[in-house]
């Protein structure tokens, strides 16, 4: 799974990258500003092939657009709002953390970063992202199945409206103006199948000895 590290400090970039790479996270992207992160995500500076990102480690304090504003912008986009964002910060005042959470961050890591805390929070966030991806895939499959069902139901033939029928021979006049046998017409306009037999009045009429008067 891909992790985007957003930090303006080369030393902090190297520290995070080294810890994550040694733990087996090899798909790592680096951005030295929010603007650079936007470009990699295909925001504001759309790329033909923006990177697919599963987790963002966002520095809290950066020149220009800070981590809180960048988090709010990313979370405001429907295509990216499911990406977990962990704020990496030396500011632990309640107001600063509340601002990060209000912007959409799911967690935070305090500086100086330790490998134990970083990996624990990263692994937890990636597990959440996997579960969200699976849920979205199930929802897509469910919508596809429902669409197929609705298409099938629309294709089912249903008899409705006024059907002209002969009062004598019981033939039905079709849409082309020709008279058809009743069972032939129904088979063409429905999914019904027929089994033939004789009703009691017809048995009495054609086989009078079967039912004595």
- State how far Cα 159 lies from the chain centre: 37
- When pLDDT is cut at 50, 70 and 90, the band that residue 182 belongs to is confident
Predicted pLDDT at 49 = 66
**Spatial contact of 163 and 189, defined as CB atoms under 8 Å apart:** no
Poorest-pLDDT segment among 34-48, 80-94, 150-164, 180-194: 150-164
The average pLDDT across 200-210 equals 77
The average pLDDT across 160-165 equals 75
Tokens matching residue 36: 């650079």
- Model pLDDT for residues 118-148, shown as the tens digit of each residue: 999 999 999 999 998 898 888 888 888 888 8
Give the whole-angstrom CA distance, residue 84 versus residue 104.
Answer: 9
- List of domains in the chain: 3-148 (3.40.50.2300), 157-213 (no CATH)
- When pLDDT is cut at 50, 70 and 90, the band that residue 190 belongs to is confident
Predicted pLDDT at 59 = 94
Residue written as token pair 């990177």 = 51
**In this model, does residue 80 exceed pLDDT 70?**
yes
**In this model, does residue 177 exceed pLDDT 80?**
yes
What does the mean pLDDT of the chain come to? Answer: 86
The average pLDDT across 86-100 equals 88
The average pLDDT across 181-191 equals 76
The predicted model scores a pTM of 0.66
Q: Is 64 helix (H, G, I), strand (E, B) or coil?
A: coil
- Report H helices in the chain: 10-22, 34-41, 67-75, 94-103, 115-155, 182-188, 200-206
Predicted pLDDT at 23 = 94
Cα–Cα distances in angstroms (integers) from residue 42 to residues 13, 15, 38, 45, 58, in the given order = 21, 26, 6, 6, 17
**In this model, does residue 48 exceed pLDDT 60?**
no
* 89 DSSP assignment: E
**Spatial contact of 3 and 54, defined as CB atoms under 8 Å apart:** yes
């Amino acid at each position: 799974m891909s992790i985007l590290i957003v930090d303006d400090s080369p030393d902090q970039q190297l520290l995070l990258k080294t810890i994550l790479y040694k733990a087996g996270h090899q798909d790592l992207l680096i951005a030295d500003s929010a603007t650079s992160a936007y470009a990699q995500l295909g925001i504001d500076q759309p790329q033909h092939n923006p990177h697919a990102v599963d987790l963002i480690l966002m520095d809290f304090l950066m020149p220009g657009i800070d981590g809180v504003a960048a988090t709010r912008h990313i979370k405001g986009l429907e295509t990216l709002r499911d990406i977990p964002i962990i704020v990496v910060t030396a500011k632990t005042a309640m107001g600063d953390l509340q601002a990060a959470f209000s912007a959409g961050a799911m967690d935070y890591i305090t500086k100086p970063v330790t490998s134990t805390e970083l990996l624990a929070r990263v692994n937890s966030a990636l597990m959440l992202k996997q579960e969200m991806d699976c849920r979205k895939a199930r929802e897509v499959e469910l919508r596809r199945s429902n669409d197929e069902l609705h298409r099938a139901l629309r294709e089912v033939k249903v008899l409705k409206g006024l059907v002209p029928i002969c009062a004598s021979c019981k033939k039905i006049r079709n849409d082309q103006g020709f008279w058809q046998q009743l069972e032939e017409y129904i088979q063409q306009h429905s999914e019904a199948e027929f089994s033939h037999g004789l009703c009691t009045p017809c048995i009495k009429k054609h086989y009078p000895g079967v039912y004595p008067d």
